[in-house]
Structure 1
């Protein structure tokens, strides 16, 4: 289901990198873990605002971290433009 993120050449993982990429307008798709802390989800959604960015909900932070190929949990990730 998350093959696009798993195989993406250009992706960011984590809140700081995601927010930076959103500011640059480089985000195509955001992946947001359902069990992430509410303030993290709110910051991401607020930063997206009116942008036309596709949002994909992932069940757990553990699952998102595994899809991204990291050994820790991830609250959010994104596929970005080249």
Structure 2
């Protein structure tokens, strides 16, 4: 995950859903402890677009990876343009 840390990213379920398309996405990170009902639409869209999904143990850990001071349920890492 460290290789993704400095990549362009979108943090949050709603923001990730808006930005997701298979051409620009490198991978989708999902916190294992996020509420399923919140993240399921994002997981479904990622599978439809064949975007790699990486599961992170906790929302806190995903927040740290994203360099934010709070937890995150999801983060979309984008390919470098």
**TM-score bracket relative to the smaller structure:** 0.7 to 0.9
Q: Give secondary structure in 2 for the equivalent of 1:7.
A: coil
2:10 equivalent to 1:7: no
Please list every run of at least 4 consecutive aligned residues from structure 1 whose deviation after the TM superposition is greater than 2 angstroms: 23-26
With normalisation by structure 2, the TM-score equals 0.86
1:46 to 44, 47, 72: 44
Q: Is the 8 A contact 1:21 1:80 kept in 2?
A: no
- Gapped runs of 5+ residues in structure 2? none
- Cα deviation, 1:39-78, whole Å, max 9, x if unaligned, reads 1221111222421211100000000001111001000001
How many pairs does the alignment contain? 80
Shift of 1:25: 4.9
Q: Is the 8 A contact 2:22 2:49 kept in 1?
A: no
Q: Give secondary structure in 1 for the equivalent of 2:48.
A: coil
Shift of 1:16: 1.4
With normalisation by structure 1, the TM-score equals 0.85
- Gapped runs of 5+ residues in structure 1? none
Q: Is the 8 A contact 1:5 1:78 kept in 2?
A: no
